[in-house]
Amino acid sequence: MPAPLSRKIGQKKQRLADSEQQQTPKERLLSTPGLRRSIYFSSPEDHSGRLGPEFFDQPAVTLARAFLGQVLVRRLADGTELRGRIVETEAYLGPEDEAAHSRGGRQTPRNRGMFMKPGTLYVYLIYGMYFCLNVSSQGAGACVLLRALEPLEGLETMRQLRNSLRKSTVGRSLKDRELCSGPSKLCQALAIDKSFDQRDLAQDDAVWLEHGPLESSSPAVVVAAARIGIGHAGEWTQKPLRFYVQGSPWVSVVDRVAEQMDQPQQTACSEGLLIVQK
């Protein structure tokens, strides 16, 4: 006899919980009380630098660009740290932006995070089954959507988290490129759900942003392209408010036309190490 739906959902939730419980010996070590007491510069590697509130206090477009190259960190309940370099973002500008949830100044319980101080997370459910992670920027109702990460640390845990949420868990194993190449994929891979809504990315113990390592090789060129999945927003549909690292294999959708267009606004990521004028 097939399990009732409610029980199936319960089993799904249990699998999620289980996946957070599964620990390698190293992860068990990290989760011992003495080692998990503080995440703030408690070990040498933490000196890489957590980004504070001032970083988020800039307009949506510049923040969306500034995010590229920075490292998003998620610390699970068991102490496991997952890291991914941000390679793709979208800016949503606020009331005038017809594609934004805050269009026309709409402020509801759901989108309250968009109107809170810069650095506040706005996490919402989409299509009944997925989450999207946004970060409030300067400007009322403006925010940045995080669309793709290059997974750096904790890839096997990310794979488990992603697999536990897929229907055919017996199917093929996910490739590294499939772990975080989309706004809802990265939420699955980092175990980010609605409970993260309205948290402060500059203060939270379970999720934060770190300075990306300074580029040693060639600086990345940033492509400005149209945003994804907003076909209903009139003139706003085509505005180049999606930003991604050109050539990165971790990006969710490549826009060849935008890459070939003359884009004088294209710049290198990470704090203007290089300005590229094509």
Partner DNA sequence: GGCCCGATGGGCT
Partner DNA sequence: GCCCATCGGGCCA
Contact segment (CB under 7 A) with DNA among 14-22, 70-78, 163-171, 213-221 equals 163-171
42 by Cβ neighbours in 10 Å (0-12 / 13-18 / 19+) ranks as: exposed
Cα–Cα distance for residue pair 221/267, rounded to 1 Å: 6
Beta-carbon contacts of 48 under 8 Å, excluding residues fewer than 6 positions away, are 71, 210, 211, 213
Residue 162 touches DNA, criterion: CB under 7 A: yes
Residue 127 touches DNA, criterion: CB under 7 A: yes
> Of the candidates 82, 87, 226, 230, which one interacts with DNA according to CB under 7 A?
230
136: phi then psi, degrees, rounded to nearest 5: -65, 140
> Of the candidates 63, 82, 86, 145, which one interacts with DNA according to CB under 7 A?
145
Residue 135 touches DNA, criterion: CB under 7 A: no
Residue 7 touches DNA, criterion: CB under 7 A: no
Alpha helical stretches, state H, 22-169: 25-30, 33-36, 53-56, 60-67, 112-115, 155-164
Cα angle 246, 251, 253; round to 5: 95
105: phi then psi, degrees, rounded to nearest 5: 80, 10
- Rounded alpha-carbon distances, angstroms, from residue 59 to 32, 54, 100, 183: 40, 12, 15, 21
Q: Are 166 and 186 in contact (CB under 8 A)?
A: no
Residue 74 touches DNA, criterion: CB under 7 A: no
- Binding to DNA by CB under 7 A, coded x per residue (else -) over 236-255, reads ----------------x---
Min dist. Cβ of residue 199 to DNA (A): 16
Residue 184 touches DNA, criterion: CB under 7 A: yes
Residue 261 touches DNA, criterion: CB under 7 A: no
> Of the candidates 19, 80, 111, 267, which one interacts with DNA according to CB under 7 A?
111
Size of the site for DNA (CB under 7 A): 43
Residues of the shown chain interacting with DNA in the complex, contacts defined by CB under 7 A:
9, 90, 92, 99-102, 106, 108-111, 114, 122, 124-130, 132, 134, 143, 145, 162, 166-168, 171, 174, 178, 182-186, 227-230, 232, 252
